[in-house]
Chain A
Amino acid sequence: DQQVKQNSPSLSVQEGRISILNCDYTNSMFDYFLWYKKYPAEGPTFLISISSIKDKNEDGRFTVFLNKSAKHLSLHIVPSQPGDSAVYFCAPKETSGSRLTFGEGTQLTVNP
């Protein structure tokens, strides 16, 4: 199932710098895009989302950008903090359904 692709399995950044996590998708029926983060031994935790009618959504240090024509979205974290170290999943959904389709995840490591 290659509907959602996170091409970078891992990303390492310095504390205080920007982290950029990318996600590509192929299903044009996706119209709502969620980002979840996951710490070891915990379930995924909702982080931020964006609707397809927008191209940007911001919540504190987290901003998600959506480029519908390119079927690409990205999550920006600035400034990055060591507590942000986790696996980040892109998980879009179609309006007509209830399922989330997860990407492979990107392991973010923020070094002090």
Chain B
Amino acid sequence: EPEVTQTPSHQVTQMGQEVILRCVPISNHLYFYWYRQILGQKVEFLVSFYNNEISEKSEIFDDQFSVERPDGSNFTLKIRSTKLEDSAMYFCASSNAGESTNEKLFFGSGTQLSVL
């Protein structure tokens, strides 16, 4: 079965450094998402992306965050200047359809980001 692939599985960075989390969505999917889960808290929506632009973002997704689909296969999340509170498991997801549909999301295994 096709799957969403995330690399790396673990990322350790120093506070203030830039970090890029990478994802390869399922190949025929058109809608892409980032979610995160801080330890002991809920899984939270960050952003959705379609047709090379952000379609929806949460309050968490401020100017420090950006997303990009640099080629036909990768989808990245960049955090410009990491803070301690950015430490979390970051999940990438993709789907065949997006808003106003009930298409399910397929999630990757996540990247555990630790900011020291």
Contact = CB atoms under 8 A, between A and B. Distances in A.
Contacts of A42: 109-110
Given A43-B107, A45-B107, A49-B104, A1 B42 contact: yes
Contacts of A49: 102, 104
B110 A43 contact: yes
A32 interface: yes
Interface residues of B, number: 26
Q: What secondary structure prevails in chain A residues at the interface with B? A: loop
B38 interface: no
A98 interface: yes
Nearest to B93: A43
A102 interface: yes
Contacts of A98: 31, 33, 48, 55-56, 98-99
Interface in A3-38: 32, 34, 36
B18 interface: no
Interface of A: 1, 32, 34, 36, 41-46, 49, 51, 89, 91, 93, 95-105
Interface of B: 4, 6, 31, 33, 35, 42-45, 48, 55-56, 58, 91, 93, 98-100, 102, 104-110
